């Protein structure tokens, strides 16, 4: 199974994410090649006519006022890709680099960039041969496109720099030789076409968003399990409650949780709580369960306000998805050469503000989830707030054992780290290139940072999930769980046992994090039907 890029149909985030993760074969639909060729032919005509076009008959960046004859085109393009390849730090992983390359192919296949078809075919062949250029992760402004990150791919296409191939790092020349691919010879505009776009940040955004969306979806099941583990009240999630505040995300979040809890025997109803409190008020209750002396008619905000907290997250994710897909399906370089109207335009399509702001919003959304999970962890571990659970979920030998006390050290630390990381990157503009690039997006940085925040979020969520399952067992086991949450509980118990002795939980948390970020989690997302729950 592979991905065919057809410019007449939008390429989706899911298609790129799957192809990048699975190493799928990528093709460009034959109908695209005619426009790609026409764009190049149009530019060739402009050059023959002596037109002055940026990056074609002029130099680039701070030297845009210098003329360059067509006879020096190859040298200029090679100098360009090597001069801007100044990134530093660890290399991006292979999946991320494939996502970046696919994103660039989608943009170039629109046929507005005047790259020669033969060089675009080389780019495509490199991807399909499993050659993955080494891209240092730090150093992109994300504004004249992701010049640095994309330049490493362009260099490998010309037989320079280095790349992963079959699990080892080799020179670009050797990688091409192994795959039987001729190196590209770049003419005017072609180096610029390869690097002057937002595909670097888009590639990272595609993978990060895809995983973040799946995590938020499964977090609704984790929420339902936490409601059960904390003996929470289900009525605040009823759809009729949320119809009077018609935010789309809030309605969807409440509906999902309510449906998921429809057959739970561990979550409680408001009427049950009211009846018990009435008995206590009348002085007739003689058997108040230990730990429930503070029984209240409503739960704390971290339970009761979940739809009002996750609702904005869902609405933000919808906007983020649209933004990423729009950018993915865009011509994002400069100049553009439009064969349908026979003109070339200088423009700013390479500017990454859309993705930068979208990734900042994703960082905020994920940190919101982290805050919520962190507060739930505290309720599980604090005996005075857990509706009858033992301190630190330590049922056996408390005091001699510490239970899950130590896990909160991690969640507090990681939550604080996420909060610090959520300071927006999209407003951190710095001027460069003799004030030519005088306002920049840092979209590549924003995308990398959102990816880091995602990983941190998963750890906190994983520990909440561990606490919820521990609490369920303390309350008598899985028999009282809803049909939805029981599937999740049983999967967790394949990874983490009930903890009746103190052990390091690091490996368990890492395994849970991998599960929550993996493909298998999608099988748990179907919410069972039940009750009158149309929102």
Place of tokens 């062949």: 125
Q: Of 129, 123, 125, whose CA–CA distance to 165 is shortest?
A: 129
1 SS3 class: coil
Q: Region of 498 please: left (phi>0), alpha (psi -120 to 50) or beta.
A: beta
The C-alpha atoms of residue 103 and residue 234 are separated, in whole angstroms, by 44
Place of tokens 């292979």: 94
DSSP state of 132: E
The C-alpha atoms of residue 211 and residue 365 are separated, in whole angstroms, by 13
Residue 205: predicted pLDDT: 98
Q: Which residues contact 396 (CB under 8 A, 6 or more apart)?
A: 500, 501
Q: What is the largest CA-CA distance in the chain?
A: 98
Point out which residues pair with 345 in neighbouring strands. 336
The C-alpha atoms of residue 493 and residue 149 are separated, in whole angstroms, by 42
pTM of the model: 0.94
The C-alpha atoms of residue 338 and residue 349 are separated, in whole angstroms, by 14
The C-alpha atoms of residue 317 and residue 140 are separated, in whole angstroms, by 25
Annotated active-site residue in 54, 219, 459, 498: 54
Contact status, residue 382 vs residue 414, Cβ threshold 8 Å:
no
CB atoms within 10 A of CB 286: 6
Q: Please, is 341 exposed, middle or buried when counting C-beta atoms within 10 Å of its C-beta (0-12, 13-18, 19+)?
A: exposed
Note if 54 is an active site residue.
Answer: yes
| Segments of the chain with pLDDT less than 70 | 284-294, 528-535
Residue 534: predicted pLDDT: 46
Q: Of 196, 197, 212, whose CA–CA distance to 358 is shortest?
A: 212
Contact status, residue 460 vs residue 222, Cβ threshold 8 Å:
no
The C-alpha atoms of residue 112 and residue 114 are separated, in whole angstroms, by 6
Point out which residues pair with 130 in neighbouring strands. none
Residue 499: predicted pLDDT: 97
What are the Cα distances from residue 373, in Å, to 131, 222, 414?
Answer: 40, 10, 11
Query: What residue ranges define each of the domains in the chain, with the CATH number in brackets?
Result: 2-196 (1.10.275.10), 207-267+301-333+345-524 (1.20.200.10), 268-298 (no CATH)
Query: End-to-end alpha-carbon separation of the chain, Å?
Result: 37
């Amino acid at each position: 199974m592979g991905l065919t890029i057809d410019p007449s149909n939008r390429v989706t985030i899911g298609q790129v994410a799957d192809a990048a993760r699975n190493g799928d074969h990528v093709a460009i639909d034959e109908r695209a090649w005619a426009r790609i060729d026409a764009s190049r032919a149009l530019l060739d005509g402009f050059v023959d006519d002596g037109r002055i076009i940026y990056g074609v008959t002029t130099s680039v960046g701070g030297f845009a006022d210098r003329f360059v004859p067509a006879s020096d085109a190859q040298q200029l393009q090679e100098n360009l890709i090597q001069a801007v390849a100044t990134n530093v730090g660890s290399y991006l992983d292979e999946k991320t680099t494939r996502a970046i390359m696919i994103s660039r192919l989608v943009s170039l296949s629109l046929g507005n960039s005047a790259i020669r078809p033969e060089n675009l075919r080389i780019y495509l062949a490199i991807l399909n041969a499993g050659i993955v250029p080494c891209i240092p992760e730090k150093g992109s402004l994300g504004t004249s496109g992701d010049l640095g990150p994309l330049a490493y791919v362009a260099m490998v296409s010309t037989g320079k720099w280095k790349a992963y191939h079959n699990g080892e790092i080799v020179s670009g020349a050797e990688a091409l030789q192994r795959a039987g691919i001729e190196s590209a010879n770049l003419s005017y505009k072609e180096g610029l076409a390869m690097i002057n776009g937002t595909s670097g940040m888009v590639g990272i955004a595609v993978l990060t968003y895809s995983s973040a969306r799946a995590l938020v979806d499964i977090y609704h099941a984790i929420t339902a399990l936490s409601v059960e583990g904390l003996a929470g009240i289900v009525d605040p999630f009823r759809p009729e409650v949320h119809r009077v505040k018609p935010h789309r995300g809030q309605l969807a979040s409440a509906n999902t949780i309510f449906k998921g809890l429809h057959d739970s025997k561990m979550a409680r109803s408001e009427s049950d709580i009211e009846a018990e409190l009435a008995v206590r008020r009348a002085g007739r209750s003689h058997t108040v369960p230990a730990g429930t002396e503070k029984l209240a008619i409503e739960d704390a905000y971290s339970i009761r306000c979940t739809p009002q907290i996750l609702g904005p997250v869902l609405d933000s994710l919808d906007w983020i998805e649209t933004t990423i897909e729009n950018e993915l399906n865009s011509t994002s370089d400069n100049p553009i050469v439009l064969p349908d109207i026979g003109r070339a335009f200088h423009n700013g399509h390479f500017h990454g503000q859309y993705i930068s702001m979208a990734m900042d919003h994703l960082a905020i959304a994920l940190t919101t989830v982290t805050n919520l999970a962190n507060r739930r962890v505290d309720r599980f571990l604090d005996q005075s707030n857990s509706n009858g659970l033992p301190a630190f979920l330590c049922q056996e030998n408390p005091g001699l054992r510490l239970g899950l006390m130590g896990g909160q050290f991690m969640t507090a630390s990681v939550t604080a780290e996420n909060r610090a990381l959520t300071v927006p990157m999209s407003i951190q503009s710095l001027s460069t290139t003799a004030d030519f690039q005088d306002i920049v997006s840092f979209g590549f940085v924003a995308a990398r940072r959102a990816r880091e925040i995602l990983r941190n979020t998963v750890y906190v969520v994983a520990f909440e999930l561990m606490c919820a399952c521990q609490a369920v067992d303390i309350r008598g086991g899985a028999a009282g769980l809803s049909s939805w949450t029981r599937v999740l509980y049983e999967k967790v118990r394949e990874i983490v046992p009930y903890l009746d002795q103190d052990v390091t939980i690091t490996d368990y948390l890492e395994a849970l994090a991998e599960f929550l970020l993996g493909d298998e989690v999608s099988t748990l997302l179907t919410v069972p039907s039940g009750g009158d729950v149309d929102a």
